[in-house]
Chains A and B, each alone.
Chain A
Amino acid sequence: NAGVTQTPKFQVLKTGQSMTLQCAQDMNHNSMYWYRQDPGMGLRLIYYSASEGTTDKGEVPNGYNVSRLNKREFSLRLESAAPSQTSVYFCASSAFLAPSNSPLHFGNGTRLTVT
């Protein structure tokens, strides 16, 4: 039971570099999410995808782009990384768009440092 798989687990970037965080779920879930977690801030929603083919902005979308490649995969791209994007990133999925009566399943997180 893989659940939600995120890669990579750790990444160090220099300011201005780009990278893509990958997320895949094997639970046939419709909805997927990207969150960032910063000390003292709690989890904040970056982007979400209610279903395959749709994406929407969350609370803090600036500096990020997303792609819902298919039902399984939802990637997050940083085109030009900035130190303010240093954070722990979590991907999550649910059968239907939260807050529906379906639990969220989280990946293990990606710790990103931008120097």
Chain B
Amino acid sequence: KNEVEQSPQNLTAQEGEFITINCSYSVGISALHWLQQHPGGGIVSLFMLSSGKKKHGRLIATINIQEKHSSLHITASHPRDSAVYICAVPLRGGADGLTFGKGTHLIIQP
């Protein structure tokens, strides 16, 4: 089973700061997902990536397949970015569903 580690577990920052959340996994994969869970509990998919970098607005996700590591960056952070950010990778490395990290609880203070 793929083991997923996220860091940090909790992060509090000031509005405007550059945020980095890290995700490492143990078994080689074809793609990785980043998701956001709102304070109300709803979960939305942010990115799927298999190589390089993807950008959507102020969010940037990168992945290094060889090092089994991905990062999620938030530029010019805002209080509305406060949420839990979760990375997910294949359960056993192939196409068999996803296993999730425990999440990074991010709070952006005004």
What residues make up the interface of A, taking CB atoms closer than 8 Å to B? 33, 35, 40-45, 48, 50, 56, 58-59, 88, 90, 92, 97-106, 108-109
Contact = CB atoms under 8 A, between A and B. Distances in A.
Interface of B: 1, 29-33, 35, 41-45, 48, 50, 86, 88-91, 95-103
A108 B37 CA distance: 11
Nearest to B29: A99
Nearest to B89: A99
Nearest to B44: A106
Given A99-B48, A100-B95, A104-B43, 6 more contacts: A42-B86, A88-B41, A99-B95, A103-B48, A108-B41, A108-B42
B42 A106 contact: yes
Q: Most chain-B CB neighbours within 10 Å: which of A58, A101, A102, A104?
A: A104
B98 A99 contact: yes
Given A43-B86, A45-B91, A90-B43, A99 B33 contact: yes
B103 A99 contact: no
A41 B45 contact: no
A104 B32 CA distance: 12
A50 B41 CA distance: 25
Nearest to A101: B48
A35 B97 CA distance: 11
A42 B100 contact: yes
Nearest to A35: B100
16 contacts: A45-B98, A48-B97, A56-B96, A56-B97, A58-B91, A59-B91, A90-B43, A97-B96, A98-B98, A99-B31, A99-B33, A100-B31, A102-B48, A104-B88, A104-B98, A109-B41
A97 B97 CA distance: 6
A56 B91 CA distance: 12
Contacts of A42: 86, 100-103
A56 B29 CA distance: 20
Contact of A98 (B86, B90, B103): B90
A99 B41 contact: no
A114 B103 CA distance: 25
